Every structure is written in C-alpha cells, then in structure tokens.
Amino acid sequence: MAEKQSNGLVKYFLIAISVIFLFLFLVLPLYVVVTEAFKKGAEQYWQAVSDEYTVKAILLTLEATVFAVVINTVFGVFAAWAVTKFRFEGKKVLTTLIDLPVTVSPIIAGLIYVLTFGRQSILYPLLEKYDIKIVFAVPGIVLATIFVTFPFVSRELIPVLESQGTDEEEAAALMGANGSTIFRRVTFPHIKWALLYGVVLCASRAMGEFGAVSVLSGHLRGKTNTLPLHVEILFNEFQYMPAFAVSSILVVMAILLLIIRSIIEHKGKKETEIR
C-alpha cells in the first residue's frame, strides 16, 4: 500500500515538473506575443498587420514557402523512389547529401549561397551576362528556403517505402503496369499520409526560416523582406507593438500547421492500424 502511494507521489511530482517546464518555456512566450500585440488595442493591431510592408512581407513569405514545398515535394518523391526501390552504388553518399542541409547552421547555408552566386563567385560573370540576380534578391530567398527544408519530404517517405519493400511494385510491373500507374495505384496509397506530413513540416519550417534568408536578403523593405525579417527590423527599431503584431500572424500560421500535423499523424496511424 505504501509502495502504491509513493508511486502516485512520484507520478504527480513528475507531471508537475513537466507542466511547469512546458508552461514556462512554451506557453508563456505565446502569451507574451498575444498580449504585446494587443497592448495598444485592436485598432493599432490591425494597422500594424495591414501595413503595406507587412502585406508585402506576407506575400513574399508565401511565395518562398510555396516554391520550397513544391520543389522539395517533387524532389522528395523521386528521391525516395530512387533510394528505396532500387539498389545502386553510392546510395549512402546520396542520402547523406540529401540530409546534409538540415545539419548545417542556417547562417552557413546563407554563406554558401553568397559564395556561389555573389560577386566573388566564378559564376558571377555568367549571371551578370544574363542579368540574373540571386543574392540580395528574391531568388536567393527562395533558394535559401529550399535549402533549409530540403530533406523534409524525402525523410518522411523513405522509411515508409523502405518498410513496405518492393514486392508489390515488382508484381505490378510484371503484370505490365507502367511507372506512373504503379506509383499512382500501388505506391501512393502507402505514402499518402507520410507525404502530407512531410509537406506540412516543410511548409512550417519554410515560412519561419530566418538565418539563411537573413544572409541572402539584404533587408530591402518591401522587396526582399519576409515576415520573420520584418519582425526583426521592427523589433530593432524598438517598434515592439508592431513587431509582436506581425509575429502573431506567424504564430497563428505555426499553430494551424501544428494542428493539421497532429490530425494527419492521427489519421495515418489509424489507417495503418486498420490494415
């Protein structure tokens, strides 16, 4: 009996520690964003959110996110297919290279792109000839966003495809199905949820990327300013209320994606359980 009681004590003690820790580190920061954003009333909040530069930053963030999601999804599907359905030399090197971008500090990611496309690069004369601007321009921001979210889709797909094996695809191929039919009818139903999950992960990271984008953007207001960079500028200008108002947009987007993510996770789990 005494043993059981102390068991309960340990349980509540551990739950209490966890709740306090999460409250301090996760709930309070969100609370601060909301209270600071509405400190001067709803009207001021609306003004900050609908400010011309804010709207432009929202659009640029969406643009970079859409590009990153589309390219990384296409890449992720093909890469996962190549890696899991075939045997070839150098597979390990390939998967390491795919995973590499997330292990690199965002600042270094930015630096690498500046070296590649900036003024001192060997590619620069070529870029100048065709009048392509990458560094301190929108393409640079898009590229940086793609880079930091590069493996997000393929990383979700590879384990699923790996555990599924190749038998079903082989059978389909032997029965005469072509590549796209096999993918659509055999493979896709297996990876549906994992793919969606990867897309959401990719989107939520892409819209919030700061370091790499910051290096490549040059901070031109209204031109190369994404939402997170806009937050930085406002904060550094001591415009705290607008900074938090703009942040609140990102918070809402982040929480929405978080909810979608847990729904996807739940549904995916349910479906595999039924099978």
Partner 1 sequence: MTEKKLKRKTKNVRVIPGFGLSLGITLTVLSFVVIIPLATLVIFTAGMSFNDVIMTVTKPRVLASFRVSFLTAFIASAINTVMGIILAWVLVRYDFPLKRFMDGMIELPFALPTAVAGISLTALTSDNGLVGSFFAKFGIRLAYTRVGITIALIFIGIPFVVRTVQPVLEKLDPSYEEAAGVMGADRFTIFRRVIFPEIWPAAITGFGLAMGRCIGEYGSVVFIAGNQPFETEITPLIIMSKLQEYDYASATAIALVMLIFSFLILFLVSYFQARNTKMIQGGR
Residue nearer to partner 1 on the CB measure, 1 or 103: 103
d(Cα 104, Cα 215) in Å, to the nearest integer? 14
Residue nearer to partner 1 on the CB measure, 38 or 210: 210
Give residues 8-27 in contact with partner 1 (rule: CB under 8 A): 10-11, 14-15, 17-19, 21-22, 24-27
Give residues 254-273 in contact with partner 1 (rule: CB under 8 A): 254-255, 257-259, 261-262
Contact 134, 140 (CB under 8 A): yes
> E-strand spans in 220-260?
none
Give residues 79-108 in contact with partner 1 (rule: CB under 8 A): 79, 81-83, 85-88, 94, 97-98, 100-101, 103-108
d(Cα 170, Cα 157) in Å, to the nearest integer? 19
Residue nearer to partner 1 on the CB measure, 36 or 51: 36
Count, residues near partner 1 per rule CB under 8 A: 96
CA distances from 164 to 87, 123, 146, 186, 273 (A): 15, 43, 28, 11, 15
d(Cα 137, Cα 67) in Å, to the nearest integer? 15
CA distances from 159 to 2, 145, 154, 197, 204 (A): 46, 24, 9, 13, 21
The correct pick among 129, 178, 274, 275 for binding partner 1 (CB under 8 A) is 178
Residue nearer to partner 1 on the CB measure, 87 or 275: 87
Its sign, for the CA torsion 44, 50, 53, 54, is positive
Instruction: Show Cβ contacts of residue 42 under 8 Å, excluding neighbours closer than 6 positions.
Output: none
Residue nearer to partner 1 on the CB measure, 59 or 259: 259
Give residues 114-173 in contact with partner 1 (rule: CB under 8 A): 114-116, 118, 120-123, 143, 146-147, 150, 166, 169-170, 173
Among the listed residues 102, 126, 111, 56, the one whose alpha carbon sits nearest the alpha carbon of residue 206: 102
Residue nearer to partner 1 on the CB measure, 52 or 90: 90
Give residues 62-81 in contact with partner 1 (rule: CB under 8 A): 71, 74-75, 78-79, 81
Q: Counting contacts by CB under 8 A, is residue 274 touching partner 1?
A: no
Q: How far is the CB of 88 from partner 1 (least distance, A)?
A: 7
Q: Counting contacts by CB under 8 A, is residue 220 touching partner 1?
A: no
The correct pick among 232, 239, 267, 268 for binding partner 1 (CB under 8 A) is 232
